[in-house]
Chains A and B, each alone.
Chain A
Amino acid sequence: MTDVTQRMGFFTDTTLCIGCKACEVACKEWNRVPEDGLNFLGHSYDNSGELGASTWRHVAFIEQKKPVNVETNGSASDMRWLMSSDVCKHCTNAACLDVCPTGALFRTEFDTVVVQADICNGCGYCVPACPFGVIDKREEDGRVWKCTLCYDRIGVGLEPACAKSCPTKSIQFGPLEELRTRARARVDELHERGVADARLYGDSPADGVGGMGAFFLLLDDPEVYRLPPDPVVTTRDLPSMWKAAGAAALGLAAAVAASVLGGRR
């Protein structure tokens, strides 16, 4: 049985990804996510483009002119291929959840962030609030959708469909603290093996979203993978914004008072 007091999450180790897209497919099947285009984008092997209302796991493909480690690769090549399965970050401080005016978005007992489809009224506020461009509206349906971290599966002790289907364990599911420890050890190991590029993204509770429930091991800058380099939850500035609005409201009242009370009737 899953210990419900623990925060659960994903660690996606992109060095292990082989770009098979089993996660994309497993997610669609388990969650009955509708088809959203069979496209040829011309961006390497990427055909789904980005996360969206009907793409809850997205595999990015990046081709770079950069020699790979010949020793482990066996053949000399001046090209490397980065692959990474992206997903909702289940932020500690989640902007989507903060701004939702209906309470449709909520935090589960696993500390994940989930939309209640029977409550969402499609106001769309969460869409521009997410600093990762994850959540989106399904136009034909009117509501917003995103990864639930397989709320139904983890509730009965199963792992999420994507992690289950990943043949290389690039997607790892488990208690977040455990994953963080494992990920740090993995980076150390890679550094020792000479992979100096290896770094974690989203593992630190000190980042702009208070740490991500789904974090990554990357081999290049986050923006190369379509990840924002320094995401900040927009509501961090909300108290200051309300103050600015308060000052402006007083200014408005003063302008009215000056117009009516000052000078001729």
Chain B
Amino acid sequence: MTKTREQLMVPRAEPRTYYDRPVLKKPVWKWYIPAYFFTGGMAGAAAPLSFAARVRGNRRLARRAGLVSLAGIAASPVFLIADLGKPGRWYNMLRVAKPTSPMSVGTWLISAFGPLTGAAVLSDLTGVFPGLGELCDALAAFIGPAVSTYTAVLTADTAIPAWHEAWRELPAIFAGGSAASAGAATVLITPAADAEPARRLVVLGSLMELGADRAMEERLGDLAEPYTSGKASTPAKAAKGLLAAGAALALAGRRRPLLGKAGAAATLAGVALTRWSIFQAGFESAEHPRFTVQPQRERISV
């Protein structure tokens, strides 16, 4: 949709609202949810990293990526259950399997992924049932990318304008950040000589997240405002700086292991902050009715 110069110069009429009160309800999710996006995403991406490293014969890297995956997926249910209004009823998630509910799909994904990762790591550490362990490792690697990206659908499948309208790019942002954080956490605990593939993953993942983020802001137009100004903008800007610096330092990590680890730490912080900023932008766009009313008004009056 291109606008002529004349059209651009006419000031946009503020949409009409009911005493500027929000049309939508703000999400009731607390910080546990973006924390889970971080841990779950990292776990999902570390699984294929572990598998691929094993295939390539880099056992040190494979084992450590497996540990990252297990740590991430073990923390996840803690966050998820803590966020429930009735934590004691968490098992009601297992009553149904609903493809229309990304949360239901996710429940079943992590219910499969968690035990597979646990079994793979246990077998790797103890040497018991190596064949079965490798099978679990492969299956976890297969499911992992879905664990990292379904959360983007969960976020977008709401009426919150800054989330819903970003449905095209959010999955790539989540995928890129998951890859970067999985690589970064693995770099931190792996001897530098064995960590080269993980450092490369930090770079590729960060580029993917930064690129998708840029594409999202461009396509959103006016609706990018909750991301670029307001309370989400500070963490969003910091995240971009940290991801860029982290990727550059990770590249330097080839020669200087300490720089590589510093880059990994910056990357982890950057990925966490992106998730936090996306979360905040959603709240911001729900609080101001114009973000809800304006696009809908324009949609029906063309």
Q: Which residues of A contact B (CB under 8 A)?
A: 41, 43, 46, 49-50, 52, 60, 62, 95, 98-104, 119-125, 127-137, 139, 141-144, 221, 223-231, 234-235, 237-238, 240-242, 244-253, 255-265
Residue B237 lies at the interface, judged by CB distance under 8 Å to chain A: no
Q: Which residue of B lies closest to A141 (CB)?
A: B85
Closest to B286 in A: A128
Chain A residues with CB under 8 A of B192: none
Contact of B164 with A231 in the complex, beta carbons under 8 Å: no
Contact A265 B196 (CB under 8 A): yes
B25:A247 contact, CB within 8 angstroms: no
- Say whether B16 contacts A223, CB under 8 Å: yes
Of all chain A residues, the one with the shortest Cβ separation from B103 is A101
Q: Which of A133, A136, A234, A259 makes the CB contact (< 8 A) with B201?
A: A259
Residue of B nearest to A125 (CB): B103
- In whole angstroms, how far apart are the Cα atoms of A236 and B28 in the complex? 23
Interface size on B, residues (CB 8 A): 85
In-complex Cβ contact of A120 among B23, B52, B86, B292 (8 A):
B86
Q: How distant is A200 from chain B, measured CB to nearest CB, in Å? A: 15
A140 to B107, CA, bound (A): 25
15 inter-chain pairs at a CB distance below 8 angstroms, sorted by A residue, are: A103-B98, A121-B85, A127-B28, A128-B159, A224-B16, A224-B17, A228-B292, A231-B296, A234-B159, A237-B157, A240-B167, A244-B170, A255-B175, A256-B49, A260-B56
A residues near B104, Cβ cutoff 8 Å? 101
A174 vs B145: C-alpha distance when bound (angstroms)? 49
Q: What separation, in Å, do the CA atoms of A260 and B205 have in the docked complex? A: 13
With a cutoff of 8 Å between Cβ atoms, the chain B residues found around residue A260 in the complex are: 49, 52-53, 55-56, 58, 197, 200-201
Q: How far is the CA of A264 from the CA of B93 in the complex (A)?
A: 44
B23/A228 in contact, CB under 8 A = yes
Q: Do the beta carbons of A259 and B157 come within 8 Å of each other? A: no
CB distance from B109 to the nearest CB of A (A): 11
Please state if A248 and B171 are interface contacts (CB–CB under 8 Å): yes
Rounded to whole angstroms, the CA-CA distance of A253 and B44 in the bound complex is 10
Contacts A101-B104, A245-B152, A260-B49: A122 and B205 contacting too (C-beta < 8 A)? no
Q: How far is the CA of A49 from the CA of B83 in the complex (A)?
A: 27
What residues of A have a CB within 8 angstroms of the CB of B257 in the complex?
A: none
Residues of B within 8 A of A (CB): 15-19, 21-29, 44-45, 48-49, 52-53, 55-58, 83-87, 89-90, 92-93, 95-96, 98, 100-104, 107, 145-146, 148-150, 152-154, 156-160, 163-164, 167-168, 170-172, 174-176, 178-179, 183, 196-198, 200-201, 204-205, 208, 282, 286, 289, 292-293, 296-297, 299-300
Q: Which residue of B90, B157, B163, B299 is within 8 Å of A99 (Cβ)?
A: B157
Residues of B within 8 A of A133 (CB): 22-25, 159
Query: Which residue of chain A has the shortest Cβ distance to B51 in the bound complex?
Result: A256
- Chain B residues closer than 8 Å to A100, beta-carbon distance: 98, 101
Q: How far is the CA of A246 from the CA of B150 in the complex (A)?
A: 9
Docked CA distance A102–B92 (Å):
5
B172 with A143: CB separation less than 8 A:
no
Contact A238 B100 (CB under 8 A): yes
B172 cross-chain contacts in A, Cβ below 8 A? 244, 247-248, 251
Which residues in A have their C-beta under 8 angstroms from that of B53?
260
Bound-complex Cα distance A239 to B195 (A): 38
- Asked if B152 and A248 make an inter-chain contact with CB atoms under 8 angstroms apart, the answer reads yes
A252 close to B101 (CB less than 8 A): no
| Chain B residue at smallest Cβ distance from A132 | B23
**Residues B296 and A129 in contact, CB atoms below 8 Å apart:** no
Bound Cα distance from A234 to B103, whole angstroms: 14
A257 pairs with B145, CB closer than 8 A = no
**Beyond A124-B29, A264-B196: 14 further Cβ-contacts under 8 Å?**
A95-B159, A100-B101, A101-B104, A120-B92, A130-B24, A131-B24, A134-B25, A237-B167, A249-B171, A251-B176, A256-B48, A259-B49, A263-B196, A265-B197
Hey, which chain B residues are within 8 Å of A101, CB to CB? 93, 96, 98, 101, 103-104, 107
Residue of B nearest to A95 (CB): B159
Q: How far is the CA of A121 from the CA of B84 in the complex (A)?
A: 6
Kindly list chain A residues whose C-beta atoms are within 8 Å of the C-beta of B16.
221, 223-224
Contact residue among A49, A104, A230, A242 (Cβ-Cβ distance under 8 Å from B92): A104
A255 x B168 contact (CB < 8 A)? no
Q: How far is the CA of A50 from the CA of B28 in the complex (A)?
A: 16
**Shortest Cβ distance from residue B218 to the other chain A in the assembled complex, whole angstroms:** 16
**Closest CB in chain A relative to B72 CB, distance in Å:** 14
Is B25 within 8 A of A136, CB to CB? yes
- Find the A residue at minimum CB distance from B57: A265
Count chain A CB atoms within 10 A of each CB in B21, B146, B157, B292 and give the residue with the most. B157
Q: Which residues of the other chain, B, contact A119 by a CB distance below 8 angstroms?
A: 89, 92, 95
Min C-beta distance of B260 to chain A, whole Å: 14
For A95, A144, A234, A263, which residue has the most chain B Cβ atoms within 10 angstroms? A234
Once A124-B85, A125-B103, A223-B23 are accepted as A-B contacts, the answer to whether A252 and B179 lie under 8 Å apart by CB is yes
Q: Which residue of B lies closest to A221 (CB)?
A: B16
CA of A131 to CA of B19, assembled, Å? 19
A252 / chain B contacts, CB cutoff of 8 Å: 44-45, 48, 145, 148-149, 175-176, 178-179
